[in-house]
A and B are shown apart, each in its own frame.
Chain A
């Protein structure tokens, strides 16, 4: 027995030392693989994305066909939070190890713009007029550096359950629903009013899923919700515009909301139990709805949004300044965000193009979604995108303040541990605790 013991130990020790050596040798060589120019002028560019940008191997190979000296390699993180942690850690540690092109979400921009120098200025004639102003302004620093090229956006319509509308005796086809919600001049008031009508006929089903998502829809239509355009945070206690929105949302939600937090298990389950009849619906939301609605039919999408157009989410491609091939990387980002390429990405992964020209594209406008009663989603979301007019200013304090208010809405709407007045007071306190 003792012999085996010893053998086992010796084996363990042996394995340890050999593997150490092996890993030290084999991996030392390709440590800085990717991004380096090798002798013959050929370069490899890395693109770091998350989720699914629709950049298939075939699509990336097209770039190599046009530029034979460049090979493109994509690294993909599963979730955007993973990608954000990865990006910010490496930036905070000085920027080494970043990909040549790094994808980001629009919500990260306020923070990334505070260290805009870490990214290459992508201002260029070749992208002039490619996007609407609001998409470009969100990625432009105070001193005019453009740090990201827009890929997709999340223009918002209203997704609704035609079967539940019918059961409540309301019209259920797309056009009539659009009119019911207020048509081209839909306001939040007309949306809530339709909800009251619905609730009167169908008291067991909520009008919408969550108060925070409605609040977010409203705030995203304000030009200076929490901060002045120079970045100065507005004192929340005196911010009557936000207070009004807050009060309206939580008051209406008492009756109209399903009191759920988006992405929670209860929210998932509500799709199965007819929990609510409508949702604010950016283009990318159609996937999650379908995923959670196994066996449920009746979802449709209306070409309407309260208060004009609204955008929720969307991404950009940036070029970190520490890369070895900044110029080549910019060319690649330019190509990847061209209307032609983005249309292909859209067809691959459903990422709705941010490029104005792409909205006219026939392949896009002709696309429909079978699950949503064959709605012409391409055309609908192109219309919704064109309706977006406001550029909300989001400085470095935007999300801190937004979180303070959103937490209060959760307390009033989901937890129901506070009434609207207490909720607002606690939001103001949370704001003061931020010490801005």
Chain B
């Protein structure tokens, strides 16, 4: 379809971007390595982030008596952490793996759906012309301002009416596409998708959907990877709505792990081991997604 020379002819900011992307990695003023200051500043930011996770591990390898005596019971996690893990995973209070898979299904489906639908809507809002575009976009943004606390009762009434109480789709369907995602994709594509590319594809006779699929989707990749990540994390850690609408014997991971807490006697070491087990898949996911983000930019999705 579109070759590089053609992009150059249709000069514009988008072309500049495409060209810049394809030339990235070669020598140039901007590609010099940054100085020590950058690494120090980033190092501080990362330490601040790592601290709590490390602390979670420390508490997880301790025991309640030690924790009550000293908020920092030890400096290094130890093997007792694994006993705690197996205690959590083999707890009678809940089925860890069932909860795990429920969480996986919910998070994967909502992340994939949100990305697909948000990119579609974002493409439409950012780059297509239609009546009511502006007011509709404002409407989408305004829906984010609705306080969520009160929506629970009416939402539960709806779910009861359609018989979805206790089913995973009661959690999935409301999260299939979010105003946040639509707004994010609209703003991103407005900046990152060269208009000329769309027109080129249209002139070549590509249908709207084909244009979307082969032009907008690749251009959206870095933002899409991030949106997927955010959506995944949101659903993975979502507690309130699943705890109401799902049956206790068919829970998600946060709902299940919450059972480790109790009103009056809380074994924080066990709770923290549970918290870490819930967080671990996210950390692993981050590593993959992080690669994707970097790759997304280096690859230059627009490159023919």
A interface vs B, CB < 8 Å? 1-2, 5, 9, 12-13, 15-16, 19-20, 22-24, 27-28, 30-34, 48, 50-52, 57, 73, 75-80, 82, 85-86, 89-90, 92-94, 96-97, 268, 271-272, 284-285, 287-288, 290-295
Contact = CB atoms under 8 A, between A and B. Distances in A.
A82 B243 contact: yes
B262 A12 contact: no
Contacts of A78: 258-262
Nearest to B93: A76
Contacts of A13: 112, 116
B192 to A, nearest CB: 15
A110 to B, nearest CB: 20
B131 to A, nearest CB: 29
A90 B152 CA distance: 10
Contacts of B244: 85-86, 89-90
A295 B262 contact: no
B163 A93 contact: no
Contacts of A90: 156, 244
B67 interface: yes
B166 interface: yes
Interface string B277-304: 0000000000000000000000111011
Contact of A291 (B64, B165, B221, B304): B64
Contact of B303 (A1, A12, A30): A1
Contact of B68 (A20, A22, A284, A291): A291
22 contacts: A2-B218, A2-B304, A12-B112, A12-B116, A12-B228, A15-B109, A23-B105, A23-B169, A50-B263, A75-B247, A75-B249, A77-B248, A78-B260, A82-B243, A86-B244, A89-B152, A93-B154, A93-B157, A93-B160, A272-B68, A291-B267, A294-B65
Contacts of B154: 93
B4 interface: no
Given A5-B218, A23-B168, A15 B264 contact: no
A16 B113 contact: yes
A48 B259 CA distance: 13
A230 B99 CA distance: 48
B273 interface: no
A24 B153 contact: no
B108 interface: yes
A98 to B, nearest CB: 10
Nearest to B112: A16
A33 B152 CA distance: 22
A196 B218 CA distance: 76
B130 interface: no
B152 to A, nearest CB: 6
Given A5-B299, A27-B167, A294-B69, A48 B262 contact: no
B303 A23 contact: no
A92 B68 contact: no
Given A9-B213, A9-B217, A285-B264, 14 more contacts: A2-B303, A5-B301, A20-B169, A22-B105, A23-B105, A27-B167, A28-B167, A51-B262, A77-B248, A85-B244, A89-B153, A93-B154, A96-B165, A294-B67
The 9 closest A-B pairs by CB, nearest first: A294-B65, A75-B248, A16-B112, A27-B167, A294-B68, A1-B299, A287-B265, A93-B156, A19-B109
A89 B244 CA distance: 8
Contact of A284 (B218, B248, B264, B300): B264
Given A33-B166, A93-B160, A272-B69, A16 B264 contact: no
Given A2-B218, A34-B247, A291 B160 contact: no
Contacts of A16: 108-109, 112-113, 116
Nearest to B163: A31
Contacts of B303: 1-2
